Structure 1
Amino acid sequence: MQRTALRRVAATAVTLVALGAGALATAGTASAAGKNGGLESGEFGLYYNSDQGGAVWDLFVEDPNFWGERFPGPGNGTYELVNDNTASYNNRDSNRWWVYTDAGAGGYEGSLPAGYIGNASATFKNQISSAYYYKGR
């Protein structure tokens, strides 16, 4: 009976270690996504040019302040500042994203539903300074 209990404890420990390693591997992959210049499923992309042209800045998580961030490329706008320098979007995330004309969810607020692809309106074109996958304010 004691042997059976030890086997169960050992089997449970092995299972927990395997699950923990799997969770870490998944977390590592997820945190590596975004801001790499390639718009992947589950990301929100802001483009340097209209009609999803030029370099893309892809977000996997919110960014409350674009100051100092640069388009990684490739394409027109590579290495240009992202802050107040985006003209179109592609929301490949399953969540709605909100964009703001000021850092910290300040200024004008725009809402982009999951799957949205389009150009920024006159209010937002080259004016966006923060973005959230939840309502920022």
Structure 2
Amino acid sequence: MKRSKFLAAASLAAAVLTSMLAVAAPAQAASRDGVCNDGEFCYYYNSDEAGSISDFTGSIDDYGTTQPSCYDFKGAGNGKGLCVKNNAASVWNRSSKTVRVYFNSGYAGTYQSIAAGAKANLNATLKNNNASHKFGPFSSASCSIAGTGDPKTCAEAVTWAKNHVHSGYQDGYYNLCDHLVGLAYGFAHSGSTTALAHWNAIPSSFKHAGSTDVPAGGLAFFGEGSGHVMISIGGGKFISNDIHGNGSYTETTIAEIKSSWGKPYLGWAQPWFQANH
């Protein structure tokens, strides 16, 4: 009898302790439950962290614009059920990393940086104009031809690309992505047989594998098959051949290349070419 009472008391004490620990433990990041938990980046429908919440644990390059496939506001309050894109007014960054909110999908266009732990109203440009967000860290590297021997600078290469933008088919552009970036930097050819061969030949000291923070003039590479390469013009925008029709040369984003062609993104590199190495 005494043993039974002792065991019952011990069980009760353990249950109370477990309950206390559960209450004391901080809320951890959950999977999009409409609550802004520790480790998450959260949008609010209204200013000053009011209204419905949409919570994220990672970067999203395109929220979508229609239900039921879009990322939406899930918490109680104004805006619940609406798509997040172009509908957020304030944010709370409960993660340990800086997060950037972008005007365009694909981490492109103007952005507002939200420091770890910070609450903020989106600025006049981004309020109700939020199209993507990205968790840091962010590269501080700039484009440079140091050690490459390129005939043209990064700025000159960007100017060349912008001056050759066109829609519709033109000879010399179809299926010649690596050749085109070589032309932009003043070479008659890139020196590589394919974009993927170009990427594989570039010394590691010139590469930024996986980074999507590509400075103007940097070369963004994709894998699979012959691969693909395009030149950055800054602000998350690039100029690429063929993405908007064979033989065209138009503005695009990393996200569009991935979604339209299904090619895996490899990273970016300084303008190093086999043509002179």
TM-score by length of 2: 0.37
Alignment of 1:1-137 (within 5 A): 33-67=30-64, 68-134=70-136, 135=138, 137=213
For residues 37 and 48 of structure 2, what CA distance do their matches in structure 1 show? Answer: 17
Residue 104 of structure 1 deviates from its aligned partner by: 0.5
For residues 98 and 119 of structure 1, what CA distance do their matches in structure 2 show? Answer: 13
1:52-72 Cα offsets, whole Å, 9 max, x none, are 000111110111111122111
Moved over 4 A (4+): none
User: Which letter maps to 1:54?
Assistant: G
For residues 82 and 36 of structure 1, what CA distance do their matches in structure 2 show? Answer: 14
For residues 42 and 70 of structure 1, what CA distance do their matches in structure 2 show? Answer: 19
Alignment gaps of 5+ in structure 2: 1-27, 65-69, 139-211, 214-277
For residues 131 and 40 of structure 1, what CA distance do their matches in structure 2 show? Answer: 17
CA contact (8 A) 1:34 1:43 kept: no
Give the secondary-structure state (helix, strand or coil) at the position aligned to 1:73: coil
Give the secondary-structure state (helix, strand or coil) at the position aligned to 2:133: strand
Give the secondary-structure state (helix, strand or coil) at the position aligned to 1:95: coil
Counterpart position of 2:153 = none
CA contact (8 A) 2:98 2:116 kept: yes
Alignment gaps of 5+ in structure 1: 1-29
For residues 112 and 126 of structure 1, what CA distance do their matches in structure 2 show? Answer: 16
For residues 120 and 99 of structure 1, what CA distance do their matches in structure 2 show? Answer: 9
Give the secondary-structure state (helix, strand or coil) at the position aligned to 1:104: coil
TM-score by length of 1: 0.73
User: Which letter maps to 1:79?
Assistant: G
What RMSD over aligned residues (CA atoms) do the two structures have, in Å? Answer: 1.5
Q: Which has the higher contact order (CA 8 A, sep 6+)?
A: 1
For residues 131 and 38 of structure 1, what CA distance do their matches in structure 2 show? Answer: 18
For residues 103 and 35 of structure 1, what CA distance do their matches in structure 2 show? Answer: 20
